[in-house]
Chain A
Amino acid sequence: MAVQGGELAAAGAEDVPFTPVDIPTGGDRAYVILATAAASVSLIIVGATTFFLLDKARPALQSAGVWEFFTTSVWNPTVGRFGVLGLMIGTTIIAAIAMVIAVPLGVAMALFINEYAPAKMRSPLTSMIDLLAALPSLIFGMWAFFALQKHLTPIANFFSTRLAVVPFMRAQGQSLTQSSFIAGVVVAVMTLPIVTSVSRDVMAQVPREQCEGALALGSTRWAMIRSVILPYARSGIVGASLLGFGRALGETIAVALVLSIQFRANTHIFTTGGGSIAAHIATSFGEAGPLERSALVAAGLALFLLTFLVNFLARMIVVRTVGEG
């Protein structure tokens, strides 16, 4: 190499490495401007959402008071008193129930596709998860209300009678339909695809040699998963769960079909009634007057900021483990 380099240097003193210089043409400039403009559309949308929602929400926030809006649980459009605390708690409860179900199932599904299922089944299974993600939320809601609910009430009954000591499981003989629990189960099915696919991506990053090394040392498949895959993918799975949580917070139509909405926080997850900001907006928007619509916009703004924050956090975590992908 050195000899060759010396020869080259001898051949011509001006033979320095050529640094490519981009000389932009007019077309190039137009193309860069166009692409930048397109890319900034997303920024504009997010900015506009915040700005316009805030603008539109002002009448209701002024009428109810910003502090009261977030710390009380009333919804009385005729006197202009609004408070979304109960709805926000309800939204969080539903999303939490959904995550309790969807995260173990999603991780199991990811393991199933990546590790357990025969190689021939991998692509159909991925398609299946994608299809589950593509089905409209409306269909999930209708299925849940008309087909799933009557199979879930016995489970709710079991827990609420046998485990009545646990505070949030108490039912005290109330009706068990249209509860946060049932809404949570539906939302779990709907957020399952995102948890599965992100977990799969993370698990696929685990160096294959480490897995095979563990197997070669005589560990069983589960021991390999527990000692190699899960520790490696842990933060990615946390990110996936947060992403699913963000989706679950914003789930609208399925929840609106299943849940009977109430404004006071109902912490008994198996009894009828619960809160959901998105579903509340969807169901009461049609008949609302101007002031109530303004209050609904304010509630939507709160939801937007909350989901945006959760998503942002989740992406931070996922990107840190998977890289930009």
Chain B
Amino acid sequence: MSVDTERETTTPASTASPKGVLSKRDVVPTISALIAATGVTVLCTTAFGMTNVIAVAVVAFITFVAMLWLAEYLREGDDDHVDLVAAELTDDDPNWPRTETASAPALKVAPEPEWSVENDQPMRRRNIRGTDVVEAIVALGAGYAFAELLRIATRMQSLVGFGIWWGLAALFVLFLLVRDRADTEAAIDRVVAACVWGAGVAIAAVLVWMIAFVVAKGLPKLTATFFTQDLSKVGPLTPGGGAKHAIIGTIEQVAIATIVVVPIAIMTAVYLNEIGGRMSKPIRFIVDAMSGLPSIVAGLLVFTVFIPTYGFSGFAAAIALAVLMLPTVTRASELILRTVPDTLREGALALGAPRWRLVQKVVLPTALAGLVTAAILGVARAIGETAPMLLTALGSQHTVTSPFGQPQSDLPLFVWSLIRVPNKVQNDRAWTGALVLIMLVFVLFITARLIAGRSARRLRRTS
């Protein structure tokens, strides 16, 4: 509905004055060319250090002319649009001057190729074409020129600011260019597409930046001794030492948490999906709300319940992790159980299987790979949890193999305690620890993906 009205309200650029003294189609390229020429001038004088005024003027003029020509070329190159109004004007139109209805927004229609059986192909969705690329390049160039100008005018130091201004100016120029060639609606569409692509690229860039930063900081000190020594014998300023105690702690705590959580989570999922009792709705809600439980609150819970009687220990940390993992693994398991086809359940029941045998022999084995994936993803989330560890495991410099009875370290605690001291040696250790943590998350993540992918392929084959 609203699409139609949008169409009618937009005014295509081609309804500009017919006598063509100075139409919008001429102004926009001229301004763009001026901006580009200014940009090139500035670039020449600042970046390349050109001092000869005439040379700069010549370069600027050449740029100006080239941009104008490019604009003209773009307009001509846009040959798959037939401008009905323009076509009308050249003819000896008896209806001229036109009435109000005749000057309705011009349709831009691609010329239809001659139809024949051979070329009756399914129409391909419009994809990126030469004009789009040229427009993008021109927009980027003009935006760069603007940002450069701004940088010089305001003595801007920051690269981020430069990038933001570049992007904004480029979007603006792109909008003008596309509006000039097509119409406002298309221009908005293109600008939004550019923004959305920009968001995607920016997020990917942030992820890559973050991982690259940790790798660059942590890799130099990643040696074999990092895995075989602890911090009990090295001082804060002496090199060497490692995170053996932390790695042992992490493995033990995460393992205990997984062993505790996985059966409970899977049984909860079975309750929600297979039994579906009266309580399933509230329980699903509670599980959902728990998945947003701040990790520090899980730590506080264990602190108030366990620590007064049992003291700080790796086991307490494992319980806190279990509380955090429970909703994640439960939800993921429930989604997996839901993908088990009902025909399998009906078949088993028809053969006379009691419900529990159905779950044990049919539902769970079918969903096994997915359940494993869910558990691994839960572990990947839990392995880097720091906040609850501060209140439960407390940390230690020594290798503590028993998770019971005394404070134990783990990787997040190791990193946390060492990154907060103003000391290069300690900070380097922290970065290496962070790198190991990231690698662990990566390995778990990729394993989960591989298992999930393989089981998905198998499911597709069988069904």
Where the two chains meet, the residues of A that have a C-beta atom closer than 8 Å to any C-beta of B are: 20, 22, 24-25, 27-28, 30-32, 34-43, 45-46, 48-49, 52-53, 55-56, 105, 108-109, 111-113, 115-117, 125, 127-140, 142-143, 146-147, 151-152, 154-155, 158, 189, 192, 214, 217-225, 227, 243, 246-247, 249-253, 257, 278, 281-282, 285-286, 296-297, 300-301, 303-304, 307-308, 310-312, 314-315, 324-325
Contacts and interface: CB of A to CB of B under 8 A. Distances in A.
Contacts of B263: 38
Nearest to A23: B354
A278 B296 contact: yes
Contacts of B305: 48, 52
A243 B291 CA distance: 10
Nearest to B2: A227
Contacts of B264: 38, 41
Most buried by A among B287, B381, B444: B287
A219 B193 contact: no
A220 B187 CA distance: 10
A142 B292 contact: no
B159 to A, nearest CB: 7
B383 A136 contact: yes
B383 A282 contact: no
A310 B2 CA distance: 34
A24 B354 contact: yes
Contacts of B283: 39-40, 42-43
A143 B214 contact: yes
Interface in B273-328: 274-275, 277, 279-280, 282-297, 300-301, 303-305, 323, 326-327
B330 interface: yes
24 contacts: A24-B355, A30-B356, A35-B271, A38-B263, A39-B279, A46-B286, A105-B202, A108-B199, A128-B203, A136-B438, A154-B158, A155-B164, A214-B3, A218-B3, A222-B192, A222-B193, A223-B185, A227-B1, A227-B3, A251-B294, A252-B294, A252-B386, A300-B296, A308-B289
A226 to B, nearest CB: 8
Nearest to B199: A108
A280 B434 CA distance: 22
A243 B292 contact: yes
A39 B214 contact: no
Nearest 9 pairs of A and B residues by beta carbon = A136-B384, A250-B294, A154-B158, A38-B267, A31-B356, A220-B189, A108-B199, A311-B292, A35-B271
B387 A220 contact: no
Given A135-B441, A143-B214, 4 more contacts: A46-B286, A108-B200, A136-B386, A304-B297
A55 B296 contact: no
Contacts of B204: 128
A297 B3 contact: no
Most buried by A among B214, B280, B286, B291: B286
A55 B189 CA distance: 57
B188 interface: yes
B289 A139 contact: no
A130 B378 CA distance: 12
Nearest to A140: B210
Interface string B406-442: 0000001001100110000000001100100110010
A19 to B, nearest CB: 14
Contacts of B286: 42-43, 46
Contact of B416 (A117, A253, A285, A304): A253
Contacts of B158: 151, 154-155
Contacts, number: 287
B57 interface: no
A27 B354 contact: yes
B253 interface: no
A71 to B, nearest CB: 22
B354 A28 contact: yes
B169 interface: no
Contacts of A214: 3
Contacts of B300: 49, 53, 281, 296-297, 300-301, 304
Contacts of B383: 136
Contacts of A138: 384, 386, 412, 415-416, 434, 437
B219 to A, nearest CB: 15
A250 B189 contact: no
Given A109-B203, A112-B196, A218-B3, A46 B356 contact: no
A252 to B, nearest CB: 4
B454 interface: no
A52 B298 CA distance: 12
B114 interface: no
Nearest to A219: B3
A39 B2 contact: no
B73 interface: no
Contact of B185 (A220, A247, A249, A301): A220
B200 A117 contact: yes
Nearest to B191: A222
Contacts of B354: 24-25, 27-28
A42 B377 contact: no
Most buried by B among A20, A223, A297: A223
A109 B207 CA distance: 14
Given A152-B160, A220-B186, A222-B188, A36 B277 contact: yes
A304 B357 contact: no
B385 interface: yes
Contacts of A55: 304
A315 B204 CA distance: 28
B200 A304 contact: no
Nearest to A214: B3
A96 to B, nearest CB: 17
Given A27-B356, A315-B289, A134 B270 contact: no
